[in-house]
Structure formats: structure tokens, C-alpha cells
Structure 1
């Protein structure tokens, strides 16, 4: 990890527009998630469909299930998860590893614990524009040691997508996206630019921080902060412990959203067609007819 001298002055800091506490709920089979985007108070934050902080211990997990029309971004914080799909792909991601999966026209896959104890991580769903919804499925996987990092003045950042402090991610994002994992030491102050036209949010993982303006009340773990308009965000760690959070931003698609569970399209007619395709194993779901994960 390199120490970098980079100026990140912003002229119009974004303020916190809304704040949510992500409470535990059950998903998959026996898994627990803290869902912040995709819940009843916040169904969609263009272009983001879901943000889950998940916790799963075998035999619980996310067995065989389909997707169409968006991307899933899985970022492991603790433990390991094995992904397997009907195209024959199988892989395991461990602590600090990233998988950026484009479901596109259709995928059926499973995500199950690969080690003892509790596996923890984040999964973000990024919507795809109408022109990309039926693209072929694709994966981008990066091990933790290969994720771009930088450190400046008591701030460490892991660049999952986009760029920060001169460090740039190799991940290609069909929907323009930034995804930054920040850790601020006590006393650190961050100014991070964000494109003015993008929507952006913060999700706090550890510690407590002050976001937007220095006189704001501290925000603790498991809170989602939707940021208002501006060209960047300011963050202060005035506590005695490290602060860790993710900052995510994306270019809004501005398109209608029709969603039924794991299927996200633009119209109800397209959702009906997706259900028909899946039930009849056609138009991208052909291999679903006979596929089961290997440990089934």
C-alpha cells in the first residue's frame, strides 16, 4: 500500500439527506442480513437496488436461485463463500476478496459458506440500463491482495471500483460506479470528491464518524446515510477508535424499474417474459433445467 500526497479539495460538500439503521432480517436459508437499500423505506436508490450486510454460518446459505437484469457485487469481510452456477463456473472468495457478477440475461447460482464459523460480507445490487439487461453473464473477481489501495494522512482506502487518492480499480462498471472502503484513524479528516450528477451513500461498518458537516452527530455501525447534492463528502473521526465505512456512488439510470424478487427489468411485460423464460428454461435459462450445485 502506497503513501500518496493527493489534494482532494471539494467546494460543495454533500450533507446527509436521510439516515437508516439496517436491522437484521432472514434471507436465503437460515442466513441473516442487515438490508439498508431494498427495504420498504428505501426500495431503490438509482442505480442501486439492494445493499445487504450478510452473516451466514453453515449449513445456512443462499442455495440455487436465479437473477436477471442487474449486477451483484460481493465483498467479503470475514470467512469465505463459494459461488457456483449453471454455466459450470465455481470459485471461492475469502476475506477482502471481491466478486463483481453481471447476471445479464440470466444466471442461476448458489452462494454457500466455504469455511467454519461465521462468514460476513457485503452484497450490493447495481441496476443495468435497458441496453445492458440482456447482456451475457460475466464475472470479475479480484483477490484482496490485488485490490488497489492508498493511504494519506491517517486515511486508508481500498478501491473496489472507481478511483481515490490516485489509486484506481481495474473493475469495469457498465453502470458507472464508485465503491470505496475507507478506514480513518482517530483524528483523521477526509474530503472525497464525488461526481455531482451521481447518487451516493455511506454505510458504516465499524466505529463512529461525523459526515457532512463537522457539527453533525456521530453515526455508528450498521447505519446507511444517503448523501445530498454536492461535489464530494467530508468525514471526521473524532473518536478514539478507527472508523470504517464504504462510500458508494453511481450514475443514475433514470429508467423505470420493474422488479419481482431476483428479476429486475424496465416493464411488467418484461418481468412476465422473464418468469416465462425461467419456468420454461429458455432465452438464457436453458441450463437451469438440469443443473444443481455440486454439494446438493
Structure 2
């Protein structure tokens, strides 16, 4: 009989606030010098945006963006006619595929606060058709194993509850809130690479009981562990556990384009500028929400 092996914390990175987009502020961890990427993850931002700041019209190719709202509301719109509004607890899982132009800005005067994760796509999926999955908070699966433990299953599985979200790159994304003294053991597939991002409170994470407060990215060890133990030290403990199957392919990133070779990056820029191969209609496109606060 094989005994359980707990994941440990291999690295801790504090997410420091920085400017991004048009007047927005983000706390970035993955995607910085301290943690360039964590295959299959390219970037993680905890964003805090208030009008008129935002992320106006911009392109993407070759990966997925996952936006999870914590408070406030965002408008989003793309050049293919897709437009919507997401609020607290809502999820948007977008695959940019071969090309998307979109815009994201606050929908009200209140602060829009959330997480945006960039998930890489394998070479075979990088030029696929763009698609969206949107789930309002009411459709996000949840489980409370006991009083003082509240879990939202954004992707993957937790305590027997499975998310309906389809992930082109196998990914789990679990939002956990704990009262002081509560413990959880989150199952993580042995082959997955992952991390914890702390939103509030204090807890001890991993088999080594690593103590961490808010705004830290805790990289999980690749020790063949199959679960992550956590014990809360405060009543306001909240964090996300994110892990995925490594793609193990070259990552060449230039701004909003992520491909496998430099030549593919040059081609992405050429396609974007010339409005072809997925970027038809991009040149001259102007979102209707871009100037909402001007």
C-alpha cells in the first residue's frame, strides 16, 4: 500500500504592486524575474482597477486567459462581436487561439478586483479557433466539507465535486476560504505542476508547514506528492490552488503573443498588422466600451 505524499513549498514569491494597462494596478508574480513562468502557466495578476483605468483594445495569440472576479464588475468585448459583463464570483475562461482582439474595463465606478491567469497552449492548439467559457457565480460548483470550510471549484475537482469547465491544457483551479484552525487536504495529480496564491489571512501550507500571508505565490514542490495540506491561522484565510499538466515545449513570448519559435512570433505580429490568419478585422477595430469612461 502506497502512503500519501504531501507537496511542500519550493519557492515563495511576494507579488508587488505595479502599473499595467491604462492606469490599472496589478500584483504580478508569475511572469516576473523572480518567476518567469511555471509551465503550463505564463502569468498571474491580482488586479485592482477603478474607472477610468482599464485594459483597452489589445491582441492575444497562443494561450488562454482566465479571469476570476472577486469584487466589482468588468465589461469585456472582442472584435468578433462577443460582449459581456462579469461580476463578483464570475468566471471567464478565454482561449485566444490563433487570434483575438479584446478590451476589458470596469463596468461601474467601484473597484474591480480579481485574478487573471495566463495558461499556455500546446503547439497543436495555438492556432485553434478562439472560444469563451463564461460561468456566473451561481453556476460555479461549491463544496463545504465542514463548517468553516468553503470551497469553489473553478476547474478540476475538490472533495468529490467536479467543475464543468473544459480546459484545453489540463488544469485545476480551486478557491478555498477557511476559518481559524480549519484544515484541508487538496488532492493534486502527481504529474501536475502548481502553486498557491494567497488572497487574505495567514495559514501554514504544505508538508513543511510553510507560513504565508496575503499576496504570496507559493510554488509547489515536484516531489511526486498527491495532495496539499493547509491549516488556517486566521479567520479570514483565503487562497487559490492552481495546478496543471506541464506542456514541456519551448516558450517564446513577446508581449501578448506566446508561441514556440521566434519565427512564429514574427508571423504573429505580421498577421496582426496585416489583419490575416485569425486577425481579420483587427486593423482599425475600436471596441464600443473603450471610451466609456473618457
1:4 corresponds in structure 2 to none
Q: Distance in 2 between matches of 1:132 and 1:156?
A: 34
Q: Distance in 2 between matches of 1:290 and 1:89?
A: 17
Q: 1:1-296 maps to which residues of 2 (within 5 A)? A: 11-153=4-146, 154-213=148-207, 216-228=209-221, 229=223, 230-239=225-234, 241-295=235-289, 296=291
Per the alignment, do residues 10 and 75 of structure 1 end up closer, same or farther by CA in structure 2, a change over 3 Å counting? farther
Q: Is the 8 A contact 1:10 1:191 kept in 2?
A: no
Q: Aligned Cα RMSD in Å?
A: 1.2
Q: Distance in 2 between matches of 1:10 and 1:179?
A: 25
Q: Distance in 2 between matches of 1:254 and 1:238?
A: 37
1:6 corresponds in structure 2 to none
Q: Distance in 2 between matches of 1:95 and 1:29?
A: 22
Point out 4+ residue stretches in structure 1 off by more than 6 angstroms: none
Give 3-state SS (helix, strand or coil) of 1:279's partner: helix
Q: Distance in 2 between matches of 1:102 and 1:65?
A: 15
Q: Distance in 1 between matches of 2:232 and 2:69?
A: 24
How far has the Cα of 1:10 moved from its partner? Answer: 7.4
Q: Is the 8 A contact 2:60 2:100 kept in 1?
A: yes
1:3 corresponds in structure 2 to none
Give 3-state SS (helix, strand or coil) of 1:218's partner: strand
Q: Distance in 2 between matches of 1:192 and 1:291?
A: 44
